[in-house]
Structure 1
């Protein structure tokens, strides 16, 4: 058979061999590089089968990975077990562990270069490394065994490092890992407890806007729960259709006079009037907003408990899904570990040996963020090495922590510390205002987090778990507990600071002592619910209580919007008995609880829209079932309308930059709800139009017209294609995803999926930045049913391994997107036939 084109190429190649040889090489180069890259990746794949001998091992250890890549570790003693756990996690997550320790220490510049310099300066200013050193190097620890097992874990990690087969990220960056130590682990544990973005930015923005918006009530933009009713953890749990009331909750709600009392704050705080101070605070906000951090701290979560009286199986049920920034690899490493006297199936931060969330045959616990306000900002008066405190000059403390720079000499770096905390503005480029210090409860209280999570895993009852967790100073957490005996319990942990006076939502004057923290609510008085008569306990980062707490008053917090809590309470109050399958399905629920009320207000006005496309959008809203599934037209129209109405309400007051910043806070959701229901709010008037005062109706009509135009431009000219899947995506970004050409190999997504902002399946996007790609969401889902223990289920967003050469890299992403839970393999019989089996034995000389 003849191929004329090939004959022609052959003739030309003979005439011009160098020219055509070059062309062939250029065309073949991408293919060649492809095979070289993936060959290198394959050479770095973890060895999941085989035998390892090490002098640290005292008894035989078996690591069986099941079909989903979850390791089940069985050992004859605790130290050998934790050595194997450290080695096992390092096989899958070594580069993530590298990032974790560098974030905790503020050593990102050494790995990534100067572009991470400002991030390192800020991280070092948080004193995470300093407090980790003080804690780890203490001569007395509550539980010495915790530190022995941490050391065993790190020995296992370092045994893997010594073998020298590092994942491909190290090759790309041209570096190798050094051994891991205690400070690496503890500094990152402390980092995960600090949700700095919310407190620092909200307090600063509140202060700026109070100065700038002379004819607006800035409190409307920062209402927290002042306008909310029926959505607090202690008072608002759902009853049963057979119960006339929930006798364990008085359901008393704050009335208008209470709201007024809470709003009358002391004026003893800084409200900068000068342009210099306002500009300086903007610089502080910009600095925090633009930090490059490969791993974000915890930010939200859902959790609920079903008592045996409300469970179809007759056993207590725990459902929990913590919300964290989406990433590759994911936040949690799932593993099952047992040795004589201990067994837990848990979810680990890769750099730590003890699970933060776990269960066994006797008990299960989950967590959400409490969101109490344990962060304040103070304006300081500094002169040289002294600071004004309570009207007197006192010396500033200092802490030196040089910044390590890739390929260069270390940069000297010193943090100045007042009695309130580290001064965080001194090293911000271009900051010219008053020094601002950061008060964080973690800096002022004992905070033995490692000892606590160690002891939680060994506790045998909710009282022991409560006793262990009550030692946490920060962060604030909601613990949910269920056990095989039928108990369910909720308790909040973390301390509530008590201010002498002042509004903790704004920057406080640090010079007089009048705004200082003068104590903390005793942990014994933190809110709790134990075995309530109604048989259900829900938490969703909502306000903990509407009542005053002794010595504290009304608790302050960065409470998340009440939408998820209300949806869960509504559903769980509809019937008496619930199954495991019901609870798993509810975890992926996408109904907007606010949408019915919002549309009830908006639809009468929207009948007046004029354009054909806006009328089509109106028709879609009228027919919508309030869900955000893949093919939902209503979900797409509603969320764009929600966004553009909010933008039209406040963009004229805030401006583009502050509007985008405001979208980073939970506050805007609560504020929006209040403004929508208040036709007399001054924010409805558009300040950009002269001689016209816009009404709520005017802005809503404009916003739906804008919505139709937006969807036509960004989705399709055809309304039939205005579907959620064509607007909204879910992405799990890798830290190296920004590298040209090969970076996208590491990212997983973007992929279309159900979910949205402030629905139970809370996959949130950057609304004010018009980025419809979800950036945070459930970091794992789990339902434990003690009436059907062996049928309990879970999900991981993408899988257990972060090693590109592993068969478990991204293997679970489709199940996560589609809301498919998998059975938890707890019994030895269920996983003993796993394909991958790695054994550790003592090294005998």
Structure 2
């Protein structure tokens, strides 16, 4: 025993030292990590010299981190813009080009092979190469300016420290080129998930449902009154005489219809095996890992001088995109002789998608017209069937590079409709499915369009430039210093020979092919309406029939936001800048009053104390979604559980979850709750019992209490929105162990919810109450008080962890606080940092 004691005493110093090292390791790693981050912080002050510069440029960063760039010529201004964006967003730019070209596997490993295969199948890189390498461009200056911008980006790569993400991933970036930029620009025009999932799921459900109509699950706006852009603006009677009348030629107009008799060639008659394989397609699309989502929603409204307190035209706009770190938009002010714009940029493109100056302002929302279709193809021996003939498949080859440098061969076959997207899906054994996307079939000179928009001097010039867009469909909103306001739809409306049935089409007969497009001149427009207000929120563009098409089809978002905005804006004659900014953060559920009136008239006295509390809270709720609101938490859970009780027996968990990723579930729910006679109210799981709407509502009240007790608190006093709902800005490296949490911003409590004006949406059917998308910036430009115009960015301009502007605006965003846009020289002043660019 004595010897053992002596041995322990001898070893004890070694044990203590080891324990000390173990305990101090996290602190040491923390110091090393943040020390490395600080070494890689961007250099915002000093001087940059380059032989690529032809004149002087100055970058002044204001207190919010917004760069104000003044160049003595265009070349130096765009060089400075490229360098400046790279300081804040170079890793985001790295991801952007890899998404556009399908090159994620090289940095993230083999788990991203399916994503790269799908991205390459979209032919983004192929069409970008064809566009970028044209011998003659519409505006050659646009391409010169892109090159100057890329010179600035590449100068940063050559001379400055790269952010820590590059160190963690162990990658060294190559220089950026034109195709990098254009590939991603094209990607942002493709909202692939909605069309592919919606058409596939409709076809699957139509095959599997018994005693139910699949069309009830996919109603779009078939039953929605007062919800279209052209016909339903505030003060509709005043506006009616100003709505452009579209002349219809009955000989070339086909109304969209949805009866099976008029679509005998659709896939609903295919075998069970085909439908089973379609499930593999939707599973595949749902499982894709792409660290950046395209545009998906937005609000916008315009107020004429007659309706604004300042006497000037006002534009308010907040595009909705997936929340991310860094954010979607880079905010910058650029000026050189003959040009000035304060804009919101994709960080790999030198021209703003959204901008304003002292003369004009424009914003955008997604039009959501249906320009994506899926076709079941008949292929044999390298040929595809098209009507009575067989045609040769074409192919696009582009290998996938792995982390070790090896290349995985990749080839996509292409029919007349478009690329085959099922060829590389593991487990898919059905008929090949091709993707029709208008971008593949039309001229789509997006870079030239953005260049010309920035240079335009009037609405007519802006309209002319944007009319060249083939895809995506966009709603443009316009206001100017002369008091003009205007709305116009851009992008093309495809005309299908057999109409658009909202599901997968038979591709072999030729009867479902696109035979043309609505002429650009017939795209919907509103210019200076008499009522003085124009609202858009991704809702149905018009109830009128468009020439050759009929009533337009689209993945229209639910009308709740549009109807709420219309309801607010028609309540008073004049609106101030501050009032219009406050509307952007409105959280009232516009459907809730109607919905709850039905609930209260149907509800029996609940059996449990929890159920009684649910009903009591709902009866006293003011329909707002604020962090301390009990009603918001109870209502949203009740909304979800009623929908689940309504549909889970028909759809099953997998299809129900997928359905939650589509706008259609919300459109359908509005119809279901209003229709007590729908067969869907009967629960197929209860044999011999036929449930009614009242039965499902009462069951859901009880289930809501149980859900909140389990997932929030046993105490109803703690059933608050902030304890259920959060928002988060995820970084692509947020999944890393130990340090991943450093890169994510959030989760945090916030006001907002799904399909309210402050549209911070969560994945309802996955019971994930963390918002994944929302306003990607907010902005109100008032030409009566121009230098007091307002904006917000969700988390700030910089994505560099070492920057003082990293996450610097997140609290203001969460609390709905706008900041003044610093525009004039006197407003910007000396700024916080100053960087001079000089020729070498």
TM-score bracket, normalised by the shorter chain, equals: over 0.9
Which range is displaced more, 624-633 or 440-449?
A: 624-633
**Equivalent residue, structure 1, for 2:196:** 200
Deviation at 1:503? Answer: 3.4
CA contact (8 A) 2:500 2:553 kept: no
Question: Which of 487, 509, 512 matches 2:509?
Answer: 512
Are 1:209 and 2:205 counterparts?
yes
CA offsets 1:401-427 (integer angstroms, 9 cap, x no match): 111111141111111000000000011
CA–CA separation in structure 2 for the residues paired with 1:603 and 1:404? 59
Pairwise CA distance, 1:15: 6.2
**2:698 matches 1:701:** yes
From 328, 331, 350, the equivalent of 2:325 is 328
1:549-608 CA deviation, whole Å, 9 max, x = no partner?
Answer: 111101000000000000000000000000000010000000000000000111122243
2:676 alignment counterpart: 679
Inter-partner Cα distance in structure 2 for 1:32 and 1:268: 67
Alpha carbons 2:371, 2:438 under 8 Å: kept: yes
- Pick the aligned partner of 1:148 from 134, 144, 150: 144
Q: Which stretch of the first structure deviates more once superposed, 494-503 or 565-574?
A: 494-503
> Counterpart in 2 of 1:651?
648
Within the alignment, does 1:450 sit opposite 2:451 as a pair?
Answer: no
Indicate conservation of the 8 Å contact 1:237/1:249, yes or no: no
Within a 5 Å distance, the mapping from 1:156-555 to structure 2 comes to 156-239=152-235, 247-249=241-243, 262-264=257-259, 265-555=262-552
Q: Is the 8 A contact 1:758 1:764 kept in 2?
A: yes
Residue 263 (structure 1) shift: 3.1
Kindly report which structure 2 residues correspond to 1:757-772, keeping only aligned pairs within 5 A, or say none: 757-772=754-769
Q: Distance in 1 between matches of 2:267 and 2:706?
A: 43
> SS in structure 2 opposite 1:377?
strand
Number of aligned residues: 826
Counterpart in 2 of 1:837?
834
The CA distance in 1 between the partners of 2:154 and 2:11, in whole Å, is 59
Using the size of structure 1 for normalisation, the TM-score is 0.96
**Separation of aligned partners in 2, 1:259 and 1:71:** 51
Counterpart-to-counterpart distance in 2, 1:625 and 1:250: 39
* Alpha-carbon offset, residue 117 of structure 1: 0.4
Aligned CA-pair RMSD: 1.6
Q: Does 2:712 align with 1:718?
A: no
Q: What's 1:803 paired with?
A: 800
Q: Distance in 1 between matches of 2:254 and 2:438?
A: 27
Counterparts in 2 of 1:95 and 1:59: CA distance versus 1, 3 Å: same
Question: For residues 256 and 378 of structure 2, what CA distance do their matches in structure 1 show?
Answer: 31
Q: What is the CA-CA distance between 1:801 and the residue it aligns to? A: 0.3
Secondary structure of 1:194 counterpart? coil
Instruction: After TM superposition, give the deviation of residue 16 of structure 1 in Å.
Output: 1.9
The structural deviation recorded for 1:275 is 2.2
Tell me if structure 1 keeps the 8 A contact 2:244–2:525.
no
Equivalent in the alignment of 1:61? 57
Q: Distance in 2 between matches of 1:227 and 1:363?
A: 38
2:391 is paired with a residue of what secondary structure? strand
- State whether residues 239 and 530 of structure 2, in contact with CA within 8 Å, keep that contact through their aligned partners in structure 1: no
Over 3 Å counting, the alpha-carbon distance change for 1:735 and 1:758 in structure 2 is same
In structure 2, what is the equivalent of residue 88 of structure 1?
Answer: 84
Shift of 1:261: 7.5
- What's the secondary structure of 2:198's corresponding residue? helix
Answer yes or no: is the 8 Å Cα contact 1:797–1:816 preserved in 2: yes
- Preserved contact between residue 238 and residue 530 of structure 2 (Cα < 8 Å): no
Indicate the SS of the match to 2:257: helix
SS at match of 2:408: coil
SS in 2 for 1:319: strand
Query: Which deviates further from its counterpart, 698-707 or 598-607?
Result: 598-607
For the Cα contact (< 8 Å) 2:725–2:749, is it kept in 1? yes
- In the alignment, the residues of structure 2 paired with residue 832 and residue 445 of structure 1 have an alpha-carbon distance, to the nearest angstrom, of 46
Give the structure 2 partner of residue 750 of structure 1.
747
Q: Deviations over 1:386-405 (max 9, x none)?
A: 11111211100011111111
Cα gap change, 1:320 to 1:168, in 2 (>3 Å): same
2:250 alignment partner in structure 1: none
3-state SS, counterpart of residue 174 of structure 2: coil
Partner residue in 1 for 2:557 = 560
841 and 64 in structure 1: CA distance in 2 versus 1, 3 angstrom threshold: same
Q: Secondary structure at the match of 1:819?
A: coil
Q: Could you tell me how far 1:295 is from its partner in structure 2?
A: 0.4
Whole-angstrom CA distance in 1 between matches of 2:828 and 2:500: 55
Q: 1:735 Cα shift?
A: 0.2
Shift of 1:262: 3.4
Q: What is the CA–CA distance in structure 2 between the aligned matches of 1:398 and 1:217, rounded to whole Å?
A: 39
Deviation at 1:245, TM superposition (A): 6.8
Correspondence for 1:8? none
What is the CA-CA distance between 1:274 and the residue it aligns to?
2.0
Contact 1:45–1:167 (8 Å) recurs in 2: yes
**Residue aligning to 2:823:** 826
The structural deviation recorded for 1:246 is 5.0
Per-residue deviation, 1:249? 4.7
Q: Is the 8 A contact 1:527 1:544 kept in 2?
A: yes
The yes-or-no answer on 1:76 pairing with 2:63 is no
Gaps of 5+ in 1: 1-10, 253-257
| Cα distance in 2 for residues equivalent to 1:304 and 1:418 | 41
Distance 2:199 2:184 in 1: 25
Partner SS state of residue 263, structure 1 = coil
Alignment equivalent of 1:120, drawn from 89, 109, 116: 116
Shift of 1:306: 0.1
Question: Using the alignment, how far apart are the partners of 1:533 and 1:166 within structure 2?
Answer: 54
Q: Secondary structure at the match of 2:83?
A: helix
The reply to whether residue 37 of structure 1 matches residue 33 of structure 2 is: yes
Inter-partner Cα distance in structure 1 for 2:266 and 2:456: 44
Offset, 1:250: 9.8
C-alpha distance in 2, partners of 1:645/1:13?
Answer: 68
Q: How much has 1:754 moved relative to structure 2?
A: 0.3
Q: Could you tell me whether the CA contact under 8 Å between 1:233 and 1:538 is conserved in 2?
A: yes
TM superposition shift of 1:502 = 4.3
Contact 2:762 2:768 in 1 (8 A): yes
The answer to whether structure 1 residue 605 and structure 2 residue 602 are counterparts is yes
CA contact (8 A) 2:255 2:499 kept: no
Is residue 97 of structure 1 aligned with residue 93 of structure 2? yes
| Matches of 1:357 and 1:766, distance apart in 2 | 28
* Distance in 2, Cα, partners of 1:653 & 1:477: 35
State the partner residue of 1:638. Answer: 635
* Partners of 1:417 and 1:423 within 8 A in 2: yes
Counterparts of 2:651 and 2:745, CA distance in 1: 35
Aligned counterpart, 2:249: none
After TM superposition, give the deviation of residue 613 of structure 1 in Å: 0.8
Larger deviation, residues 813-822 vs 384-393: 384-393
3-state SS, counterpart of residue 94 of structure 1:
helix
